[in-house]
Amino acid sequence: MRKPNVFEWLLLIMGVLCIGIGYILVQAMVIQYGFFSAHLAVVLLLWFLLIVGIVLIAVNENSKEELKTIIAQQRDEMRLLRADLRRKH
């Protein structure tokens, strides 16, 4: 099992802070402008876009780490195939 790197920990902290602070700010906007206002719609849209962006960054980082593992396995497999072909000749 792989251990999370520093970037992933920072991304987790940033995501949790974004959700928490965003929720508090959205509640403040609801209190100040009401539930059906243009300001609240803009704030909610931007908040959701920020959360989606953080999730996409996390998925990208995870797939990058998985590709590193797959490439290392493929490299080992190629070494074994080369060694096997050398023995046959």
In a domain, 42, yes or no: yes
Mean pLDDT by 10 residues, the chain (89 residues): 83 92 91 88 91 91 89 95 88
Q: Distances in Å between the alpha carbon of 16 and those of 24, 25, 61, 79?
A: 12, 14, 17, 43
Mean per-residue pLDDT over the chain, rounded: 90
In a domain, 41, yes or no: yes
In a domain, 15, yes or no: yes
Q: Distances in Å between the alpha carbon of 68 and those of 21, 61, 71, 73?
A: 34, 11, 5, 9
What pLDDT is attached to residue 49? Answer: 94
What pLDDT is attached to residue 8? Answer: 86
In a domain, 62, yes or no: yes
In a domain, 1, yes or no: no
Domain range enclosing 37:
7-88
What pLDDT is attached to residue 84? Answer: 92
What pLDDT is attached to residue 39? Answer: 86
Q: How far apart are the first and last CA of the chain?
A: 39
What is the count of structural domains for the chain? 1
**What's the rounded Cα separation, in Å, for the pair 80 and 89?**
15
The structure's pTM equals 0.72
In a domain, 2, yes or no: no
